[in-house]
Structures are given as structure tokens and as C-alpha cells.
């Protein structure tokens, strides 16, 4: 959600700032802008719309030394030129870019207005520029002015600030919004996400809440907001720059769908032992620590929430412990019952999801053992949890999550089998079967992906549907929910996704000619019941698209279109094989409908505001 990049050094600053900004387009945005040094003064240029519009505006403009750029995802004020970042005070003394939300901006804006400040936008960010400008004459350094200005600010922010009187530096700060500093030789970089920096450097400093940094060509100096100096060791990023590129594919989304076998293989590597055991070498929990947990709590949003539902299914089956799954955004407002001996799992691709972070902090206050399941190394959730399991999915650029979801399920499945082992809740032969199935998973996912030509043809027949039902029972119902989210996100197809048994309790009224129903069936024990639901749809002239296993001789007789996937010995792991078909279907429907697949409207990759 929003993107910040910046460069200070001898190379063309605008060119680098825009190049790094383009690498953050996947985060979602509706306007873009850049602040830079032009001759002897600070210049700001910005435009609503895509980065291309800003690039056209900057045609022929050159600047060396320092530039800071931004993509905005609208929260306060409509997407237009005045509301785009960077923002300045009325005299152009400072220029500020900001990710996050200033919660007390109305109060600050009123106070500043009473002191004579004039505003040119509707945004919360602009108050920061005025607050900093007001402090400059009272402070010995620009960084001190930023530090003092932030004392009265409530909310979330990652900011970068340039100053008319100090062309040699940029000042950055963060609270609840990610920001990293890239280290070079005689040059330095800033960005709100690591992929932006990969073509230029792999050595980064990950700022933490309450950090403030002063960045010049040759140095990075850090302090806390109370003024005390600190040091943060650089982190070496092992992703290649190529891993964040499309690799010849039309969209990042299809590239990432096809990367799932390798992503899951990376997730399992080092955790599945050749002797059939499971280990988490990164965790420092003793056997008695694992055995004390009597309850498991899973907190997540969106796709990660759907992975959490799969986690509930496998953990309750294998561990025989109660598992509750909460939407992060509702956790604090539902007055949850906090109990001792609870393991709280927080799932997030980015590790920066604001609602999930807020729930995590509440659980830490309650004394829970907290564990993050995240993809981004050094992210806020990873740092603030007691323990962290990285999914190892690699960079995921498309806003609609695919391989991150699969790797989250793989981690939850590993965790479920491991906990069942240390607690003795599964027969040994079942545990062994689960480990063997996980070892086969990359090749089974690859077989599922081989259905793409068939899925593409089905999409060509069904892409104009006005409404899609996604239906299943048991674990398949949870997979159907994620499939429905995918086609909503990128193809803008309205969906209904109740468990199939709920159709007669209202949703069936929406079935009519032209409506499609996507059925997921990987469990033999629910197949006959699902047949009844399928016939209900057909009786009302709906069209049925069935995703089922290779051994199903019952349901395909009634379906209009059928895709078969490998059958797994353990149905708990079937989501890893069934979900690729639904992802491919959503992708091809979106492509046929002419949608902007990697950056769907109104959405952002990392939701860092509540």
C-alpha cells in the first residue's frame, strides 16, 4: 500500500528514483510524484494516474544528487494531482513523502491553520510538512526538526523528508509502516520494500518502529525518536533481482502461479528430514514448550485468513486441540477470550499487515506465545513475534497472492504434523503417510498446473458470467473461498462462496441461466452430498465447472466442465493440489475480460493501514 523510494549519490537521481518506484507498482497506487534538486532549488512534480504519466511529465528533466519518489493509494482525499505526494509546506521549505495514516491529522491541521499555515491538499500527510517546517528555525539540524515534529503525531508512518537548505541529506523515520535503507559505495537508497532495491544493492538496513535515519551519499546515521543513537546491522538479501522480474511471462501472477512447485519445495527444504522426521531449526522451543499448548489461535486477513482456515482443519484433525481463526480486523473488537497456554499464529505474506500487527500486540500483552508465519525477512511481524517461520516463497509481486498462500499451507501442514508427533495424537502410520505426501507435494502441484490448457479453454467458455458460486464441503469449502477471492480480486466477477450445504438456506435463489458454479471435490466422503448440491444448480439452469480427483466417477457425469487433479492419500493436503486450478481459472478469466491483473483496481499488496 503506497510506495516510497529514494536515491542519494552521483548517478541520475530521477532515473533511479523512478526505476525503483516502478518495482513497487505491485503494491497498488493511484498517483505518483517525485521531489528532486533542480539547479539550486527543490522541485516537486506529481500526477494522478500511473507512473507513466509522471514519466511523461518529467521528459527531459535531469537531476543528480538526490531524489525521493512516491506512489499513493488514496485514503484522505480523492486521487488527483494536489493530493499526490510529495507534499510541501506553503514556502517549499521541505518535501515529504509518507506511507500510513496520521490519525490526529484533523486536530493538527486545525492547530496549524490557527497559526497561519495554508494547505493545498486534502491529505493527512501535508500536516507533516508544515509541522517540520515550523520546527526548523527552532532546531540545530533538520533531523532534530523531524524528530520534534513527530512527537505530536499519532498513527502509522514511513516518511522521507528533503530540505531546501540541506541538499546533502534525506531524513527518514518509521512507525508501523515498513522502510528499508539500501547501502552502496558513495551512494545510498531508500525504499518501502526490498524488491525495489535488488538491482542496485543487496545490503539493507531494516528500520524498526521509532527509528529515524539521516542518509547522505557516504553515511547512514540512526537514532531513536527520543534522540538516543542506535545501530542496526545490515542484512544481506539473497533474492536475485531476476526473481522479482516477469521472466518472459505476460504477468507476474501467472509467473508466480507456475512457481508454486519450487516455492513449496523451498518451504519444505531443511524442515523435512530424509529419515521422515520434521524439524524447525529456526525455532528455540523445547519439547515441553510444544506440549503445553492446549489451544491454538490463528489471526490473519484475506488470503492468509483462508490459509488459516486450512490450518484449523489440519491442526484440529491431527493435534486434537481447539483452533480458532479470527479476521485480524475483527480480533480487537470482538472481545476475544484470552486464555493461558495458547499458541497464537499470525499469518501475513508481507509481515506488515496493520490489523494483524495490532492483534499480535494485544496477544503479547496477554502473555501468549506468538509465532509469525510470514514471507518477508525482517518484517514487523517477524520481529515482534516470539518465534517466526518463514514461508520461503521468494518475492511475490502480483497483488493477488498465489504462491504465498500455498507456502503458508505447507508451513501449517508441517507444523500440524510436527505437533501431532510431539503430542502423540496421530498413529505412526498416519504421520508417516503425511510426511510422504508432503515430500511428493511439489511434483503433485506441478501435475495440477499441467491442466492449464484445459482451464484456459473453460475460461474462454465462461468468462462472461455475471455471477460465480464457489462451492465445496469440508476442507474443499475453504479452498473454494480462496478461489472466489481470486476471481473477485483480478476479474471483478461477483461471487458467492457459502459451504455447499448452505445453498438451500438462501443463496440458491441467485442461480439462473448464465450463472456458473465452481465445485471443488477432493474428499470421497462428501461426494454424494456434493452431488445433490450440483444437481440443485443444474436444475435451475446454472453451469457447473467441477474440479475433482482422477478417481471420481460420480460427479463428472453431471458437470458441464471438469478438470481432474491428482488424488492425495491424505485429503488434509489436497488444497495444495486443487488451488492451482482455481488460480489459473481466475487468471484466464481476468485476461479475457481485459483486466489489469497484477495491479487490480482499489487494492494494494501490503495493507499497512487499518
Question: Are the C-beta atoms of residues 475 and 574 closer than 8 Å to each other?
Answer: yes
Closest by CA position to 475, among listed 296, 320, 313, 326: 313
Q: Using alpha carbons only, how large is the chain's radius of gyration in Å?
A: 25
Using the structure block, give the residue that is written with the C-alpha cell 502441484. Answer: 445
Residues 6+ apart with CB under 8 A from 233: 205
Question: Are the C-beta atoms of residues 343 and 371 closer than 8 Å to each other?
Answer: yes
Q: What is the 3-state secondary structure (H, E, C) of 195-212?
A: HHHCCCCCEEEECCCCEE
Q: For residues 322 and 338, what is the distance between their CA atoms, to the nearest angstrom?
A: 13
Q: For residues 76 and 228, what is the distance between their CA atoms, to the nearest angstrom?
A: 33
Give me the active site residues, please.
2, 605
For 282-316, give the DSSP string: T----HHHHHT--EEEEEE-HHHHHHHHHHHHHHH
Q: How far is CA 394 from the centre of its chain?
A: 12
What is the per-residue burial (b if ≥16 Cβ within 10 Å, else e) of 461-477? Answer: ebbebebbbbbbbbbbb
Within 10 A of 185 (CB to CB), how many other CB atoms are there? Answer: 9
Question: Are the C-beta atoms of residues 239 and 204 closer than 8 Å to each other?
Answer: no
Amino acid at each position: 500500500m503506497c510506495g516510497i523510494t529514494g536515491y542519494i549519490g552521483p548517478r541520475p537521481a530521477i532515473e533511479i528514483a523512478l526505476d525503483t518506484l516502478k518495482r513497487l507498482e505491485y503494491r497498488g497506487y493511484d498517483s505518483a510524484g517525485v521531489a528532486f534538486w533542480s539547479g539550486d532549488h527543490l522541485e516537486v512534480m506529481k500526477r494522478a494516474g500511473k507512473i507513466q504519466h509522471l514519466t511523461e511529465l518529467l521528459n527531459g528533466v535531469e537531476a543528480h544528487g538526490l531524489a525521493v519518489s512516491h506512489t499513493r493509494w488514496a485514503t484522505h482525499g480523492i486521487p488527483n494531482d494536489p493530493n499526490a505526494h510529495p507534499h510541501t509546506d506553503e514556502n517549499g521549505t521541505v518535501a515529504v513523502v509518507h506511507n500510513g495514516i496520521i490519525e490526529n491529522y484533523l486536530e493538527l491541521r486545525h492547530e496549524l491553520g490557527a497559526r497561519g499555515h495554508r494547505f493545498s491538499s486534502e491529505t493527512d500527510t501535508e500536516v507533516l510538512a508544515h509541522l517540520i517546517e515550523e520546527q526548523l528555525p527552532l532546531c540545530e539540524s533538520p533531523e532534530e526538526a523531524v524528530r520534534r515534529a513527530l512527537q505530536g503525531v499519532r498513527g502509522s508512518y514511513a516518511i522521507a523528508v528533503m530540505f531546501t537548505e540541506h541538499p546533502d541529506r534525506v531524513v527518514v523515520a518509521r512507525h508501523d509502516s515498513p522502510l528499508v535503507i539500501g547501502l552502496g559505495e558513495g551512494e545510498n537508497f531508500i525504499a518501502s520494500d526490498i524488491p525495489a532495491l535488488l538491482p542496485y544493492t543487496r545490503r539493507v538496513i531494516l528500520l524498526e518502529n521509532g527509528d529515524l535515519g539521516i542518509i547522505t551519499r557516504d553515511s547512514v546515521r540512526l537514532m531513536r525518536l527520543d534522540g538516543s543513537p542506535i545501530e542496526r546491522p545490515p542484512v544481506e538479501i539473497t533474492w536475485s533481482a531476476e526473481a522479482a522480474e516477469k521472466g518472459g511471462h505476460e504477468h507476474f501472477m501467472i509467473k508466480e502461479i507456475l512457481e508454486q512447485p519450487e516455492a513449496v519445495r523451498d518451504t519444505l527444504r531443511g524442515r523435512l528430514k530424509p529419515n521422515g522426521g520434521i524439524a524447525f531449526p529456526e525455532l528455540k522451543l523445547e519439547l515441553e514448550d510444544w506440549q503445553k499448548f492446549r489451544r491454538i489461535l490463528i489471526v490473519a486477513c484475506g488470503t492468509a485468513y483462508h490459509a488459516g482456515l486450512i490450518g484449523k482443519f489440519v491442526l484440529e484433525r491431527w493435534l486434537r486441540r481447539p483452533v480458532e481463526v479470527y479476521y485480524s480486523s475483527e480480533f480487537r473488537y470482538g472481545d476475544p477470550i484470552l486464555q493461558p497456554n495458547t499458541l497464537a499464529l499470525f499469518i501475513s505474506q508481507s509481515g506488515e499487515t496493520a490489523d494483524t500487527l495490532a492483534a499480535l500486540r494485544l496477544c503479547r500483552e496477554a502473555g501468549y506465545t506468538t509465532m509469525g508465519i510470514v514471507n518477508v525477512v525482517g518484517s514487523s511481524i517477524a520481529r515482534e513475534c516470539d518465534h517466526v517461520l518463514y514461508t520461503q516463497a521468494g518475492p511475490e509481486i502480483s497483488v493477488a497472492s498465489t504462491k504465498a498462500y500455498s507456502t503458508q499451507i505447507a508451513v501449517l501442514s508441517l507444523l500440524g504434523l510436527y505437533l501431532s508427533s510431539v503430542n502423540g495424537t496421530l498413529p505412526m502410520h498416519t504421520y508417516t503417510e503425511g510426511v510422504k505426501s508432503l515430500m511428493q507435494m511439489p511434483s503433485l502441484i506441478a501435475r495440477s498446473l499441467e491442466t492449464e490448457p484445459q482451464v484456459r479453454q473453460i475460461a474462454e467458455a465462461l468468462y462472461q458470467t455475471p455471477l460465480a458460486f464457489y462451492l465445496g464441503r469440508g476442507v474443499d469449502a475453504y479452498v473454494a473461498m480462496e478461489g472466489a477471492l481470486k476471481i473477485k480480486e483480478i476479474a471483478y466477477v461477483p461471487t458467492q462462496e457459502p459451504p455447499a450445504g448452505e445453498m438451500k438456506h438462501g443463496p440458491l435463489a441467485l442461480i439462473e441461466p448464465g450463472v456458473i458454479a465452481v465445485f471443488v471435490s477432493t474428499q470421497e466422503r462428501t461426494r454424494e452430498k456434493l452431488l445433490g448440491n450440483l444437481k440443485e444448480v443444474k436444475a435451475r439452469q446454472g453451469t457447473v465447472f467441477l474440479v475433482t480427483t482422477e478417481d471420481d466417477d460420480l460427479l463428472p457425469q453431471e458437470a458441464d466442465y471438469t478438470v481432474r487433479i491428482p488424488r492425495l492419500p491424505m485429503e488434509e493436503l489436497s488444497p495444495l493440489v486443487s488451488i492451482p486450478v482455481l488460480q489459473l481459472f481466475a487468471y484466464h478469466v481476468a485476461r479475457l475480460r481485459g483486466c489489469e491483473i497484477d495491479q487490480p483496481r482499489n487494492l494494494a499488496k501490503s495493507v499497512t493501514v487499518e
